[in-house]
Amino acid sequence: MIEFETILSPACTHVGVQARSKKGVLEQACQCLAEAFPEIEPRRLLEGLLARERLGSTGLGEGVAIPHCRFDRCEAPVACFLKTERGIDFDAPDDELVDLLFVLAVPLHEQRIHLEILGALARAFDDPGNLASLRRAPSDQGLFDTLQRQLAMSQRE
């Protein structure tokens, strides 16, 4: 079972994020991760995330995206979870704007855990009730707590 509390902290979970573009929201996520994890260079992480986006959108649909990349400057998986004030065009398959983003960086050598994390996230985000609860979260801590509960439940199923 993946221990998401070691991957995502309340300090990297934010509601009301002001961003107007894919690049803009990813820049904010990278800056947040760099503040929490000094070994992360935000510009290099942004380059990795944008390179991954060029391979194909990480938008899942239903207003959710999981921008992710393997990154040589982290020793363990790290993440940032953002709820934007307005939807952002993420080239999602359903053409809906994205307002929930789980931004993930995983060490280069951790391919298996990378796929396990993506699978657990996809299961949690596949539930419309979960998405509604996340969108109702009024605070950073509320968003963090709601997501952690959902991720724990999705791994028990």
| Token pair of 114 as six digits | 């990378």
User: Coil, strand, or helix at residue 79?
Assistant: strand
- Which range marks the domain in which residue 124 is found? 4-156
Selecting among 14, 68, 109, 114, the annotated active-site residue is: 68
CATH number at residue 150: 3.40.930.10
The total number of structural domains that make up the chain: 1
The model's pLDDT over 58-114, given as tens digits with 9 standing for 90+, comes to 999 999 999 999 999 899 999 999 999 999 999 999 999 999 999 999 999 999 999
* 156 or 90: which leads in pLDDT: 90
Mean residue pLDDT of the chain comes to 96
pTM of the model: 0.96
- What b-and-e string marks burial along 40-61, b requiring 16 or more CB atoms within 10 Å of the CB? bebeebbebbeeebeeebbbbb
**What sign results for the dihedral spanned by CA atoms 152, 16, 69, 54?**
positive
Q: Average pLDDT, stretch 27-52?
A: 96
Is 14 annotated in the active site? no
With 80 as the cut, is the pLDDT of residue 137 above it?
Answer: yes
